[in-house]
Structure 1
């Protein structure tokens, strides 16, 4: 693995790991709210906003990984789609459209898990 790959892959791995932790906290916070912890909804919203920032940073890091690090190209559109999904997720959450918020949340969790697992796999360290 060359230096440019290392310099772009490690920040991507770290971001995806932190991103996944925040994504996994969301259903826990929502569940706490539904069981009567009224303050949990504020934390749920705050983590959602943090995920929007994380998603934007994810797009930047996937671009650096794909271009400067000569990594896999498919991670760029995957990062963009995840960023957009998080934006829609936040919007439908604030509008209380739970019919879309819940299944889209499941999709965001699944995509985040898959990306984080991939980032730590040997495949992520191979250049194109």
Structure 2
């Protein structure tokens, strides 16, 4: 693996993994709220807002991976779409639009899991 790839892949791996941990905490926190832990919704909102900020950093990391590291081209649009989806998700949550919030949340979880799995495969370390 060349140096520029290594320098962009490892931060991407760490950011995607951290992002995934926060994403996976969200349904747990929502479930705790639904079972009567009313304070969990405050943490759910804070984690959601921090995911929006983390998504911006993750998007920058995907762009660096693609442009400087010569990584797979599809990764940057996925980072951008994930960032935008989290933004919509936060808005839907604060407006209590559960018809959008719940299915979009499931989509974000699935996309985050798939991206996290891929970023740790040998394929992620190969330049295009």
Q: After TM superposition, is the score higher than 0.5?
A: yes
Deviation at 1:120, TM superposition (A): 0.1
Aligned residue pairs total 128
- The 5 Å alignment of 1:24-63 reads 24-63=24-63
Residues 64-122 of structure 1, C-alpha deviations (whole Å, 9 max, x = no match): 00000010110010000000000000000000000110000000000000000000001
CA distance in 2, matches of 1:123, 1:58: 19
Secondary structure of 2:96's counterpart equals: coil
CA distance in 2, matches of 1:53, 1:124: 24
- The 5 Å alignment of 1:19-98 reads 19-98=19-98
Q: Which residue of 2 aligns with 1:112?
A: 112
Quick check: 1:3 aligned with 2:28? no
TM-score, structure 1 normalization = 0.99
Note the residue ranges of structure 2 that are not aligned, 5 or more in a row. none
CA distance in 1, matches of 2:60, 2:43: 26
TM-score, structure 2 normalization = 0.99
Note the residue ranges of structure 1 that are not aligned, 5 or more in a row. none
CA distance in 1, matches of 2:45, 2:51: 10
Q: Which residue of 2 aligns with 1:102?
A: 102
CA distance in 2, matches of 1:117, 1:50: 22
Alignment RMSD: 0.4
Secondary structure of 1:110's counterpart equals: helix
Quick check: 1:124 aligned with 2:115? no
Deviation at 1:48, TM superposition (A): 0.2
